[in-house]
Amino acid sequence: MRLTLVRHGQTENNLGGLAQGWTDVELDKLGRRQAELVGERLKAIQFDAIFSSDLQRAVQTAQPLSDALGVPIQTTELLRERSLGTLEHAPLVDLRGAFEKEIRETGESRFRCRPCGVESAYDVMARIIEFTRLLPDDFTEIAIFTHGMTEETLMCHFIGAPVESSRSFSFDNGSVTTLRWDFDAWLIELYNDTSHLIGTV
């Protein structure tokens, strides 16, 4: 089995440095072009399934590939970005500040604390584990369209790393990452590749 992970295309919130979480924003003009280029790049692969977060920025990124292959998009809340509680749509600097304050006041780790109702990294990992149990064993090629922090957590789960390792990963808008199952481990074949987007920025 091979998994192709795609982070959604750019949104105005990405450009403006605003936290998105479960806020259901659309792709901006560049993001829509990135989605088209992702579809162009991946349409030569006959995917058995296309999974996506149900938030429209992820679905819109998956749509060109779905259209090209005639494979329906299977949406799920399990692939959503981290919920940001009362910090939805806040500047990223405010989100970082809320984490620093919570850690300082409670002594809780960055990966377990929930400032202002934010999902913890462990909460997101629990969703990811539930999602991966849905993947059919007999599928050869699976595409997964999701979000930055969710994709970081997916990587940790697949390679058997603790959730605390999620900060070691970073994914650009419209990037492609692939993992291949090889006997007893997931091998990272491609990481955060954006070569198909050259010339769009």
Does 81 participate in catalysis according to the annotation? Answer: yes
Name the catalytic one among 8, 36, 151, 157.
8
Higher pLDDT, 20 or 192: 192
Looking at the structure of the chain, the number of domains it has is: 1
Question: Whole domain around residue 16: which residue ranges?
Answer: 2-84+119-197
In a domain? residue 96: no
In a domain? residue 8: yes
Give the burial class of 63: count Cβ atoms within 10 A of its Cβ; 0-12 exposed, 13-18 middle, 19 or more buried: buried
List the structure tokens of 52.
């996506």
pLDDT score of 63 more than 90: yes
In a domain? residue 23: yes
Q: What is the pLDDT of residue 18?
A: 87
Q: What is the pLDDT of residue 88?
A: 87
Find residue 144's DSSP bridge partners. 5, 51
CATH code, domain with 44: 3.40.50.1240
Does 8 participate in catalysis according to the annotation? Answer: yes
Name the catalytic one among 36, 81, 151, 152.
81
